[in-house]
């Protein structure tokens, strides 16, 4: 199987900050709006280098989304920056009306997504954001798997015209992809070939999918691993091909089972090519305070959970 050496361990939000600093230099239309979380979103460099294009909005997320829509109408490319929960649930209708329905060119950039935000606990752990955003017509939803992919995706959405939700996180994370100046929104990446089962993973679960594939490989099974960094528009072809060629699918995400990647994939395979499907996700519950790895284990998102789900999917093949 292809080996992915870990370049370093790095939070995805750091790469977001680096990409914003680069975009500040290369694209004069890029502006940033931040809701009192400059340090958390790593925007110090952008704000220092471009004080005229960095707007401190304060803790006023609803106002931030509306203001971003106005800036987009005025010809700018606004990037909004706060935690995932306050980027989505807090401001759902502002996004729905002023961004998605009005098709304004706003980039909603959301850090500290999911359980791995850690000790702050459930109030801050966005587990419904992918569902909320993918429900909106016209919204593009991107969840990069590591720091380098976050960098690539951030650069790509600046070039792309239309509303985007970009989801990343707080903890250190194995950084194993190459920076890709040609990042294709909507195009899944097959990271590992395999015939017995496919794990379709997004965000930080992609690395765990590779770990699970390695464990299963040692047991004589071959596992296709797909990094589905774009949840919407979904790469239907990659999913249907995987269903046809491997006959069993596991999805993996740091999100609620209801409304997430698993639901999106279930829709595709049940309507186009039904095969056994196992969904690894948070099972209809809120999170809690704890350390990132403790929480992933507690809520069924560990590498071992992926291994078990893969075996179960394979065993359900007719």
Ligand X SMILES: Cc1ncc(C[n+]2csc(CCOP(=O)(O)OP(=O)(O)O)c2C)c(N)n1
Catalytic residues: 61
Closest contact distance (angstroms) between CB of 106 and other proteins is 18
Closest contact distance (angstroms) between CB of 86 and ligand X is 4
In the bound state with ligand X, the residue whose beta carbon lies nearer, of 100 and 126, is 126
Residues 6+ apart with CB under 8 A from 292: 115, 116, 117, 118, 170, 171
| Residue ranges binding other proteins (CB under 8 A) | 34, 36-40, 56-60, 62-63, 85-86, 90, 118-124, 286, 288-291, 294-295, 298
| Residue ranges binding ligand X (CB under 6 A) | 35-37, 59, 86, 90
241 binds, among other proteins, ligand X, none (CB under 5 to 8 A by kind): none
Alpha-carbon span 206 to 88, nearest angstrom: 23
Give kind and range of the element (H or E) at residue 68.
helix 61-73
56 binds, among ligand X, other proteins, none (CB under 5 to 8 A by kind): other proteins
233 binds, among other proteins, ligand X, none (CB under 5 to 8 A by kind): none
Closest contact distance (angstroms) between CB of 187 and other proteins is 35
In the bound state with other proteins, the residue whose beta carbon lies nearer, of 28 and 58, is 58
Closest contact distance (angstroms) between CB of 132 and ligand X is 15
Closest contact distance (angstroms) between CB of 290 and other proteins is 3
298 binds, among other proteins, ligand X, none (CB under 5 to 8 A by kind): other proteins
User: E-assigned strands of the chain?
Assistant: 8-9, 30-34, 54-56, 77-83, 107-111, 140-142, 164-167, 174-175, 189-192, 197-201, 223-227, 230-232, 249-256, 277-282
Q: Are 246 and 196 in contact (CB under 8 A)?
A: yes
Q: Are 283 and 259 in contact (CB under 8 A)?
A: no
Alpha-carbon span 75 to 3, nearest angstrom: 44
How is residue 5 written in tokens? 């050496």
In the bound state with ligand X, the residue whose beta carbon lies nearer, of 42 and 90, is 90
286 binds, among other proteins, ligand X, none (CB under 5 to 8 A by kind): other proteins
Burial of 140 (0-12, 13-18, 19+ CB in 10 A): buried
Burial of 161 (0-12, 13-18, 19+ CB in 10 A): exposed
In the bound state with other proteins, the residue whose beta carbon lies nearer, of 157 and 296, is 296
62 binds, among ligand X, other proteins, none (CB under 5 to 8 A by kind): other proteins
In sign, the C-alpha dihedral spanning 122, 228, 259, 222 is negative
Burial of 129 (0-12, 13-18, 19+ CB in 10 A): buried
Closest contact distance (angstroms) between CB of 90 and other proteins is 7
């Amino acid at each position: 199987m292809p080996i992915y050496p870990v370049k370093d361990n790095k939070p995805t939000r750091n790469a977001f900050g680096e990409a914003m600093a680069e975009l500040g230099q290369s694209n004069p239309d890029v502006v940033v709006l931040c809701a009192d979380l400059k340090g958390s979103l790593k925007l110090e460099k952008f704000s220092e280098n471009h004080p005229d294009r960095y707007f401190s909005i304060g803790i006023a997320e609803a106002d931030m989304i509306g203001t971003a829509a106005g800036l987009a109408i005025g010809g700018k490319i606004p990037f909004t920056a706060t935690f995932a929960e306050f980027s989505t649930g807090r401001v759902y209708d502002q996004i729905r009306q002023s961004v998605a329905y009005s098709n304004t060119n706003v980039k909603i950039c959301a850090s500290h997504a999911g359980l791995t935000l850690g000790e702050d606990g459930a109030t801050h752990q966005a587990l419904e954001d992918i569902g909320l955003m993918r429900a909106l017509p016209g919204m593009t939803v991107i969840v990069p798997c590591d720091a380098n992919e976050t960098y690539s995706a951030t650069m790509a959405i600046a070039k792309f015209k239309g509303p985007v939700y970009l989801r990343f996180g707080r903890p250190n994370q194995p950084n194993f992809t190459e920076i890709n100046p040609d990042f294709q929104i909507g195009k899944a990446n097959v990271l590992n070939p395999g015939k017995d089962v496919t794990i379709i993973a997004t965000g930080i679960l992609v690395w765990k999918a590779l770990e699970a594939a390695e464990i299963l490989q040692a047991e004589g099974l071959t596992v296709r691993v797909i990094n589905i960094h774009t949840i919407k528009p979904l790469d239907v072809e990659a999913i249907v091909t995987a269903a046809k060629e491997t006959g069993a699918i596991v999805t993996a995400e740091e999100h609620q089972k209801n409304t997430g990647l698993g639901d999106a994939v279930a829709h595709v395979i049940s309507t186009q090519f039904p095969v056994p499907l196992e969904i690894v996700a948070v099972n209809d519950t809120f999170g809690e305070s704890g350390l990132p790895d403790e929480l992933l284990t507690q809520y069924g998102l560990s590498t071992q959970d992926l291994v078990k789900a893969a075996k179960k999917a394979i065993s359900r093949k007719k």
